[in-house]
């Protein structure tokens, strides 16, 4: 048999063996992932947190507008906070997320790490930093504490053939998965395509029966101010990441104004 034919046969056998090994390994990994036990379902929120304070006393944290100044066809973007005042859902959601993260950071339950990155040249709003979150212990079952627990676990899970399990999550991923959990909790009948509106509605549902004292306003403001004063770079990066994540998710939502809804 000519040497060239022997060489071709050798490489064909080698490639066949390599593909067989890869297929066996892949099937084992897939079977392991398929049969992995489900995460236990967390109980519903049982206490109020900083996000509940921000929502209950929204006029203390977010700019409000008289209801009469907002055209009726744009009011789906706002939440009424009493006395004929409206707040923009996006700003309210950003402030609730920031206040909750600042509260958990102050309590030593989460830590953050800033890592520089190259901005996406095709996205003018792309950030030049990644915020990595490490959860020191399980967060208390406030509305966003519960959602962040679920979001963090989802964000650090291994992805088959793409990445191993991590011990820290990108803040963008954790927020996105937390908002998915909020949508799931609301159910398809009540959930909207807009994530900010879903967050507001979810926190309203969870905190409607809670007795939140007025004194909590100053405590929450102090928590946010402390977060900024102790690490202004980190606080600004976290705030920018929250805003970018909500904006990126909004790009996937239908434009109700454009559709005439």
The pLDDT tens digits of the residues spanning 137-160 come to 899 999 999 999 999 999 998 765
pTM: 0.79
Contact, 66 vs 85, CB < 8 A? yes
Residues 184-195 have a mean pLDDT of 83
In this predicted structure, what is the pLDDT of residue 254?
A: 62
What does the alpha-carbon distance between residue 8 and residue 236 come to, in Å, rounded to a whole number? 60
Could you report the per-residue pLDDT of 6-59, keeping only the tens digit for each? 776 777 777 888 888 888 777 776 665 444 444 556 677 888 999 999 999 999
What does the alpha-carbon distance between residue 177 and residue 247 come to, in Å, rounded to a whole number? 15
Residue 87 has pLDDT above 70, yes or no: yes
In this predicted structure, what is the pLDDT of residue 40?
A: 53
Residue 85 dihedral angles phi and psi, to the nearest 5°: -110, 145
pLDDT band of residue 261 (cuts 50, 70, 90) is very low
Residue 102, token pair as written in the block: 């600042």
More confident residue, 256 or 136: 136
How many Cβ atoms are within 10 Å of 250's Cβ, its own excluded? 14
CB-based contacts of 71, cutoff 8 Å, min separation 6: none
DSSP secondary structure code for residue 70 in this structure: S
Which class for 182: exposed (0-12), middle (13-18), buried (19 or more C-beta within 10 A)?
A: buried
* CA-angle at 120, arms to 115 and 126, nearest 5°: 70
Instruction: Map out the domains of the chain as residue ranges.
Output: 1-36, 42-259
According to DSSP, the β-strands at 78-82 and 65-66 are unpaired
Could you report the per-residue pLDDT of 99-134, keeping only the tens digit for each? 999 999 999 999 999 999 888 888 877 888 899 999
* CA-angle at 248, arms to 59 and 157, nearest 5°: 105
């Amino acid at each position: 048999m000519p040497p060239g034919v022997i060489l071709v046969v050798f490489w064909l056998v080698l490639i066949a063996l390599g593909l067989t090994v890869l297929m066996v390994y892949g099937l084992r990994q897939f079977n392991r992932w398929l049969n992995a036990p489900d995460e236990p379902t967390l109980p519903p929120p049982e206490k109020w947190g900083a996000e509940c304070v921000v929502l209950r006393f929204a006029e203390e944290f977010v700019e409000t507008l008289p209801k009469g100044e907002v055209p009726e066809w744009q009011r789906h973007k706002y939440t009424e906070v009493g006395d004929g005042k409206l707040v923009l859902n996006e700003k309210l959601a950003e402030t609730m997320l920031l206040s909750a993260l600042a509260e958990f950071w102050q309590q030593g339950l989460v830590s953050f790490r800033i890592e520089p990155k190259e901005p996406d040249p095709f996205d003018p709003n792309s950030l030049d930093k990644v915020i990595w979150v490490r959860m020191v212990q399980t967060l208390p079952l406030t509305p966003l504490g519960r959602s962040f627990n679920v979001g963090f676990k989802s964000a650090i899970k291994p992805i088959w053939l793409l990445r191993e399990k991590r011990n820290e999550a990108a803040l963008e991923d954790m927020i996105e998965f937390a908002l998915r959990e909020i949508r799931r909790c609301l159910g398809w009948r009540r959930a909207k395509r807009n994530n900010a509106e879903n967050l507001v509605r979810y926190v309203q549902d969870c905190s409607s029966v809670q007795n939140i004292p007025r004194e909590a306003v100053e405590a929450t403001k102090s928590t946010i101010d402390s977060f900024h004063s102790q690490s202004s770079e980190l606080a600004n990066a976290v705030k920018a990441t929250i805003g970018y994540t909500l904006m990126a998710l909004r790009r996937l939502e239908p434009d109700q104004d454009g559709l005439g809804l």
